Amino acid sequence: MPSRTIVVIGSLNMDFVVQVQRLPAPGETARGENFRMIPGGKGANQACAAARLARGTPVRMIGRVGYDSFADHLRASLAAAGVDTSGIHGCRSAPTGVALIWVDRAGQNSIVIAPGANAELTAADVETERACFVSASCALFQLESPMAAVAAGLRLARDAGALPILDPAPAAPLAPEILGLAGLLTPNETEACLLAGLPPQRITLAQAPALAAELRARGARAVVLKLGDQGCFYSGPEGEFHSPAFRVEAVDATAAGDTFNGALAVALSEGTPLPEALRFANAASALSVTRPGAQTSIPSREEVDRFLSGRAGF
């Protein structure tokens, strides 16, 4: 029987990346170095991660790009990773999305996106892809696409019985209906605080259960809080548990969260039990942090398996 598909609905950006000693303050001109253009976009990164990590599960990307050379590069990067790019459509009214990224010496970043064609993805575009949801095990969403397109995809995934995993990034308020449509919500600390009506703050492991409970009270069915170097915390029908992070030397955190989501979709699609799936996603994410860039940093399945086999596990 052919493997069920992972569908990714989301953004594709060309990332313009500069390394800086420290992130500039408002009004400050900072000197950077090592400028690079690297394929990115939260949706495309998740698709790339899923395809690099999958063992035979097909991955299909749905999105919009302009008619320009960035679009060619972004399609080629995903195709090289093994993603089916036939759901990426051209847009005449806007250029391909771009992201301007500063990365400091500790690997932390600041990102500004100009969505371009990503903002032209419509609910009708997503509904045209109805057939691919029917064969999907998981559908991955983020918030760099218009909410109407995200909502249409979430409904299609729900109706088809696929698990919709919503990464509420970049942080934005969400209607209860959207929260309720997501089978799994995967915010980082900033996003979780915003969705829970709290000021942005670091979340300790002791605070995680209450924060997750608040998000569930607001409509989320299950939550994975992504807690950076503290790992992640799950709260949902399968109970509550913490999966610790792996210690690595951080070079660049760009796409670490995207890698986590792509990896989690792969593991769950393969039928991996949730605790082990979270451990797999933490490992993939940790490896991505040790390398610069977005899609350039995403590890292969062999790398993640080797990394995990060198550590005590389940």
Three-state secondary-structure class, residue 51 = helix
- Choice between 11 and 282, CB closer to ligand RIB: 11
Segment lying near ligand RIB (by CB under 6 A), choices 9-17, 187-195, 197-205, 266-274:
9-17
Binding ligand RIB (rule: CB under 6 A), the pick from 129, 144, 189, 191 is: 144
Helix (H) or strand (E) holding 19: strand 13-20
Token reading at 243: 């999966």
**β-pair partners for 259:** none
- Choice between 42 and 279, CB closer to ligand RIB: 42
Q: What's the closest the beta carbon of residue 100 comes to ligand RIB, in angstroms?
A: 9
Q: Rule CB under 6 A: is residue 252 a binding residue for ligand RIB?
A: no
Q: What's the closest the beta carbon of residue 45 comes to ligand RIB, in angstroms?
A: 5
Distance CA 49, CA 297 (A): 9
Question: E strands, 95-238, where?
Answer: 97-103, 109-114, 136-141, 163-166, 184-185, 223-226, 232-236
258 is catalytic: yes
- Choice between 15 and 125, CB closer to ligand RIB: 15
- Choice between 35 and 314, CB closer to ligand RIB: 35
Cα separations in angstroms, 70 against 95, 113, 146, 252: 9, 15, 21, 22
Residue nearest to ligand RIB (CB): 40
Q: What's the closest the beta carbon of residue 19 comes to ligand RIB, in angstroms?
A: 15
- Choice between 121 and 160, CB closer to ligand RIB: 121
Distance CA 123, CA 135 (A): 19
Cα separations in angstroms, 106 against 22, 34, 162, 169, 221: 8, 16, 38, 22, 35
The interface with ligand RIB within residues 174-233 (CB under 6 A) comprises none
Distance CA 50, CA 107 (A): 23
Neighbour order of strands in the sheet with 84-90: 84-90, 59-65, 5-9, 136-141, 163-166, 184-185, 223-226, 232-236, 239-243
Catalytic residue among 84, 167, 252, 258: 258
Segment lying near ligand RIB (by CB under 6 A), choices 11-19, 49-57, 124-132, 212-220:
11-19
Binding ligand RIB (rule: CB under 6 A), the pick from 53, 255, 267, 284 is: 255
Distance CA 109, CA 98 (A): 16
- Choice between 13 and 235, CB closer to ligand RIB: 13
Binding ligand RIB (rule: CB under 6 A), the pick from 49, 78, 113, 264 is: 113
The interface with ligand RIB within residues 53-112 (CB under 6 A) comprises 99, 111
Token reading at 275: 């605790």
Catalytic residues: 258
Chain residues binding ligand RIB by CB under 6 A are 11, 13, 15, 40-42, 45, 99, 111, 113, 144, 254-255, 258, 294
